[in-house]
Amino acid sequence: MLELVDVHRTYLIGESTVQALRGVSMKIEQGEFVAIMGASGSGKSSLLQILGLLDTPDKGDYLLFGHNVNTMSEDEQAGLRNSVAGFVFQQFHLLKRMNIVDNVRLPHIYSGVKGDFRKEAVERLRQVGLEKRVDHTPNQLSGGEQQRVAIARALVRDPLIIFADEPTGNLDTKNSAEIMKILKGLHEEGKTIIMVTHETEIAAYAGRVITMRDGLIVSDERKIGRELSVTVGAAQEFEPHLAKTVSLWRDGRFTGFMQQAFQAILANKMRSFLSVLGIFVGVASVIAMMALGEGAKAAMQEQLKSMGSNMLSIRGGSAKIRGAAQGAGAVTRFTFTDVDDIAALRSLVKNATGVVNGGARIVYGNKNWSSSLNGVGFDYGTMRASVPSTGRWFTREEIQTREKVAIIGVTVVKELFGGSNPLGRTIKINRINFKVIGIAPAKGFSGPQDEDDVVIIPVTTAMYRVLGKDYLSGIFVEVISPSLIGQAKSAISEQICKRHRLKASDDSFNIRDMTEIQQMLSSTTQTMSLLLGSIAAISLVVGGIGIMNIMLVSVTERTREIGLRKAIGARKGDIMLQFLVESVGMTISGGVIGVLAGIGISLILSFFAGWAVKTSLISVVLATLFSAIIGIFFGLWPARKAAALKPVEALRYE
Ligand code: ADP
Ligand code: MG
């Protein structure tokens, strides 16, 4: 069944080499109970590890049921360790954080067979006399009991061969005898047993004793009268195990890994909490900072809109205010025809409205007040965000019929009416009676000028009844979109030149826009967002490094666990996935709590500090995604490191 041909194994320790096996050849038949004896350091464990597929020879062949192990892939070997071999170690190698049923059924995670196998595990525990201790953890058991759990674990996949390396090495005589009784029973049931020991009394249980010295077999004795417990057809039993490839997603393997990762996270609560904290802080600050940045941006956009972000103002006269160029006759006077002309530029202009400005002496009762007068068209209200929230805007008829109605700014309200309601009252503007129909929305100061110290009346009324003018002071134009401002400016300029027969060089009117202010504001918000974003990103990266650190520590600390998992059949991918699931699980949970906290923080900021905040879906998605990526990125390296370990190396790790 097993055949070694001239097997060598040499260990490298720094510069020097140790030849543990120096050409071992032997055969072991199905149903044998073999004891490998010899002094310490003679190569017994090295031999057993090669037989058990935990290690590979440097030189020589190992034939398992006629199949050369050298040609098998790592994953195939792992599969065979899971289904054909069962291991019992001197140090038991039970996982301390699981109860003993979970320890016993552990090999099933890597088997690809569906089910939870609790019943099988309990049955195996009964076989070794521990059925009453199923919920205990390994720490609550004596050494002998722990070794019996390990035997139950070795049996749970019903293997063909049991490999035992000094199974009684850590036990007293009484416990040793019990363990040997169990092994002997298993042999009688038909299992092949290969056991390493240095004690003659223990070796006496076996039917064949191989003695080693300095990496070579020096004697090989079969006891007469000890029959093999041969089972017929075992070679055929072996074949199906070889071909088996196990899918990750089917057979519930993935859920198994999730449970394992969850257990591992819970087993180190404080440490997991701390590493989750890093991601949590990072994600929460990303969300909060982005909400702040977005809020500021939205607030500024709102402000821009009230100023008219895509607004043009056309005035007669030179742009060089108070400049020498402004002589007599250098002013273009606009009329409603100009407004209509400009409004006709449909592809660029959304709205155009004429305005006329002047001064107003306003009298109410015994109070009087000087203010500025704005005569405006119907569209001015929406274009300049001047539609009152108290009272109403003008109707088109009122503007057409030169109605004497007025909307007054809050400063005027305060000066003339004090605390009382001005709506419906009659005031005198330049000695003409006007009815107050609304209060203009407060706008505050623009430079030294109080924008709320204003009276707004229909443009026709202002021109023909109050100011006695037949031309406009200027025209406001709303361009379709801010990107068309430049184009609109030149088209309008051309239009005006044509109508008034001006040369392009004439400086008798000017068109101004808000782009300067807009650019300034948007570059400020951009700088701020960038600053906030980078602070948040730094904290996320720091959090990620924290996770990597924890995972590295965890891998190092759990090296022997990794060794055991590989010994019972975990493949490289399984180990890697388990650690990845662990780190991604931690970062994602940190991310999710962080998102909630980030939203909470921004709400608190907006509530108590009155800051504008705006949580965007994209920042939430981005932060969650980012935390998952951090989990994968920073978890990958430790996971790879863990997966690359050879089972023997990992098991020997102290
Ligand atoms: P035994 O089990 O018979 O006591 P081993 O097979 O464990 O002996 O070891 C045989 C020799 O190989 C010893 O000299 C031991 O120090 C050496 N050895 C075993 N494993 C390693 C290893 N992983 N690295 C270096 N040397 C090793
Ligand atoms: Mg040994």
Whether the pLDDT of residue 308 is over 80: the answer is no
> With bands split at pLDDT 50, 70 and 90, how would you rate the model's confidence at 252?
low
Residue 103 Cα to ligand 1 midpoint, Å, equals 28
Helix (H) / strand (E) element for 78: namely helix 74-83
Residue 42 Cα to ligand 1 midpoint, Å, equals 8
Residue 360 CB contacts under 8 Å (≥ 6 apart), including other chains:
370, 371, 372, 373, 429, 430, 455, 466
Residue 362 Cα to ligand 2 midpoint, Å, equals 108
Whether the pLDDT of residue 325 is over 50: the answer is no
> With bands split at pLDDT 50, 70 and 90, how would you rate the model's confidence at 228?
low
Report the nearest atom of ligand 1 relative to the CA of 196.
2
Q: Residues 575-600: what's their mean pLDDT?
A: 87
* Residues surrounding ion ligand 2 at CB below 5 Å: 45
Q: Is 310 in the pocket of ligand 1 (CB under 6 A)?
A: no
Whether the pLDDT of residue 171 is over 50: the answer is yes
d(CA 309, CA 515): 7
Task: Give the pLDDT score at 196.
Answer: 95
Q: Is 578 in the pocket of ligand 1 (CB under 6 A)?
A: no
Question: Considering the chain, what is the average pLDDT of its residues?
Answer: 85
Q: Is 40 in the pocket of ligand 1 (CB under 6 A)?
A: yes
> With bands split at pLDDT 50, 70 and 90, how would you rate the model's confidence at 408?
very high
Residue 282 Cα to ligand 2 midpoint, Å, equals 49
Task: Give the pLDDT score at 34.
Answer: 95
Residue 43 Cα to ligand 1 midpoint, Å, equals 6
Q: Is 43 in the pocket of ligand 1 (CB under 6 A)?
A: yes
Q: Residues 2-27: what's their mean pLDDT?
A: 92
Residue 467 Cα to ligand 1 midpoint, Å, equals 110
Residue 428 CB contacts under 8 Å (≥ 6 apart), including other chains:
362, 363, 364, 434
d(CA 274, CA 2): 50
Whether the pLDDT of residue 318 is over 70: the answer is no
Report the nearest atom of ligand 1 relative to the CA of 48.
6
Report the nearest atom of ligand 1 relative to the CA of 13.
25
Q: Which of 255-264, 436-445, 636-645 has the highest mean pLDDT?
A: 436-445
d(CA 126, CA 129): 5
> With bands split at pLDDT 50, 70 and 90, how would you rate the model's confidence at 266?
confident
From residue 474, alpha-carbon distances to 267, 339, 357, 456, 477 in Å are 76, 9, 8, 15, 10
Residues 452-482 as b or e (16 or more Cβ within 10 Å = b):
bbbbbbbbbbbbebbbeeeebbbbbbbbbee
Inter-axis angle of helices 269-307 and 617-644, nearest 10: 150
Q: Is 458 in the pocket of ligand 1 (CB under 6 A)?
A: no
Task: Give the pLDDT score at 172.
Answer: 92
Residue nearest to atom 6 of ligand 1 (CA): 43
Residue 47 Cα to ligand 2 midpoint, Å, equals 9
Residue 35 Cα to ligand 2 midpoint, Å, equals 13
Q: Which of 8-12, 251-255, 271-275, 533-537 has the highest mean pLDDT?
A: 8-12
Query: Where are the alpha helices (H) located in 347-409, listed in sequence order?
Result: 380-383, 396-400
**Number of other CB atoms surrounding residue 553 within 10 Å:** 14
Q: Residues 149-173: what's their mean pLDDT?
A: 92
- Sequence-separated contacts (24+) of 101-104 with Cβ below 8 Å: 101/125, 101/134, 101/135, 103/138, 103/149, 103/153, 104/149, 104/152, 104/153, 104/156
For residue 212, give the ligand nearest its CA: 1
Q: What is the pLDDT of residues 63-120, one digit of tens each?
A: 988 889 888 888 888 888 998 899 999 999 999 888 999 999 999 888 877 778 899 9
Task: Give the pLDDT score at 307.
Answer: 62
Q: Which structure tokens are listed for 382?
A: 């929406």
Residue nearest to atom 12 of ligand 1 (CA): 20
Residue nearest to atom 5 of ligand 1 (CA): 43
